[in-house]
Amino acid sequence: MEKPIGVFDSGLGGVSVLREAIRILPHEDFIYYGDNRNAPYGDRTEQEITKLTMHCAHALARCGAKAILIACNTATATCIEQIRSDLNIPVVSVEPAIKPACMQPGNGKILMMATQATTHLKRYLALQARMPNPARVINVPCPGLVERIERGIFAEDAFDDLLDQYLSAYHTMQIDGIVLGCTHYIFIRDAIKRYAAMHLHGTCTLFDGNAATVYQLKRVLEAQRLLNVGTASGNITFHTSGDPAQYAPLFELLLHRP
């Protein structure tokens, strides 16, 4: 089916998921909607997050999306069930990759970096509770990272102050993995790697759920006979609730950034 796939995020972080989707689903068209005017969601109440997310999801459905990919961990943890119940199209969502992080051998801790909201929401806490050793996972709220990324800051040394604020308490611990529990953080993985190499002990392997999410989307599309396997044009359309003159260039930069 040649209708587009809708991709939603509170801002530009979902572009990291969109990049995986373009790679894994090369024959699909995509509509991306970033709610940049209201980002970040992680500092908002559950009611606010739900209202904003539902508005954006319905907007993508009205644009003719055949399926929607929720590329925001905070939105997923807040209201994914309500989105699926409200819409009559498939909805697939990203979740923090704590399961693959916890599956790796070792006795060290797993740091789960995410927004303030994600680390406190029931859906995420239930996911953590299902891990073989939930206490191995340390949730690390990281307010401020999203705002800086949304301003187009990506340099490896541009986040040391915030990372030190959030991670300095773990300098003496053995850290087996770091979960990037917000899709924005993937754009500063080099900054996080750099900080970990300088200050943390252990392998500090980075994990994100982007590829796994897109493969799940592919399975859903195949199961419902919605997958394009032929000659779709691969068009990508960008929409934002913010100023297009500000965010469209950042979108293009992130979409094609190595």
Q: Residues with catalytic annotation?
A: 72, 182
C-alpha angle 231-211-236 in degrees, rounded to nearest 5: 40
Helix (H) or strand (E) holding 215: helix 210-223
The one-letter code for the residue type at 186 is: I
Number of separate helices (H) and strands (E) present in the chain? 10, 9
CA distance 135 to 117: 19
Name the DSSP letter for residue 70: E
Q: At what angle do helices 122-129 and 73-86 cross, to 10 degrees?
A: 110
- Find out whether 254 and 18 touch, Cβ atoms under 8 Å: no
Picking from 169, 187, 168, 189, the residue whose alpha carbon sits closest to that of residue 178 is: 189
CB count, 10 Å around CB of 151?
Answer: 10
CA distance 100 to 166: 23
The one-letter code for the residue type at 165 is: Q
Name the DSSP letter for residue 4: P
Residue 192, token pair as written in the block: 């996080």
